[in-house]
Amino acid sequence: MIFALDTNILVYVEGVNGRAREAAARALIAQLPIKLTTLPAQALGELYNVLTRKAAWTGDRARLAVLAWKDAFPVTPATTSAMIDAIDLATDHRLNIWDSVMMSVAAESGCRLLLSEDMQDGFTWRGVTVVNPFATERHPLLAALLSMPDDEE
C-alpha cells in the first residue's frame, strides 16, 4: 500500500506549529515504511514557502530542509494529466486547486492514502483516501500500514 504525505506533516516535523505537533509528526514519520511513502513534488515547494514566510527561516536554511526531505523519500512530480485531473477534482468537489493537485498526484502514483490534517478526513477520490494521522481514532488503513512487519514493506 503506497501513501503520500501532505505538506503539513513535513511542516510539523520541522517544528513550525509547536512542540506537541512536532513530536506527534516525528513519531508518525519514524513509523512509516520509507519504501511505501511518496512526496508529491508540490509538497516540497509548499514546505519552502511555509518555512520562509510563516516561520521566517532564511532561504538557505529552508532549502536544506527541502533537500533533506527530497533525499529521505521518493518524490513524485505533477504531470500534465495530474494537473488536468486536479482541475476537474477542484471543479467537481469545490476543493482548493493545490489540495486537488496533491490528491491527483497521489492517485496517479497509485497511493491508497494521503496523510493530511488539512483536507477532509475520509474523503476518497480515485482510490485515494485522505486520512488525518493525528485523529483521535486511527483510520483502519493507516493502522494496517503502521502495523506491517518490516519484511512486508
The 37-40 sheet, strands edge to edge: 75-76, 37-40, 2-5, 111-115, 128-131, 124-125
Contact 110, 137 (CB under 8 A): no
Q: What percent of the chain has pLDDT over 70?
A: 97
Residue 31 cell numbers, joined: 513509523
What is the rounded distance in angstroms from the CA atom of residue 14 to the CA atom of residue 81? 31
Read off the C-alpha cell for 25. 509528526
Question: Per the structure, how many domains does the chain have?
Answer: 1
d(CA 129, CA 32): 17
Closest-CA residue to 50 (of 98, 17, 5): 17
Residues near 9 by beta carbon (within 8 Å), at least 6 away in sequence: 25, 28, 29, 115, 116, 117, 133
Express each pLDDT in 121-150 by its tens digit: 999 999 999 999 999 998 998 998 888 766
What CATH number did the domain enclosing 22 receive? 3.40.50.1010
Does 152 reside within a domain?
no
58 pLDDT band (50/70/90 cuts)? very high
Provide φ and ψ at 73, rounded to 5°: -135, 150
- The reply to whether 106 falls in a domain is yes
pLDDT reading at 94 higher than 80: yes
Q: Which domain holds residue 139?
A: 2-147
Residue whose C-alpha cell is 477520490: 125
**4-43 pLDDT, tens digit each:** 999 999 999 999 988 999 999 999 999 999 889 999 999 9
Task: Report the predicted TM-score, pTM, of the whole model to 2 decimal places.
Answer: 0.92
Q: Classify residue 132: in a domain, yes or no.
A: yes
The average pLDDT across 55-61 equals 98
In a domain, residue 153? The reply is no
Residues 6 or more apart in contact with residue 124 via CB below 8 angstroms:
130
End-to-end CA distance of the chain: 9
Give the chain's mean pLDDT: 94
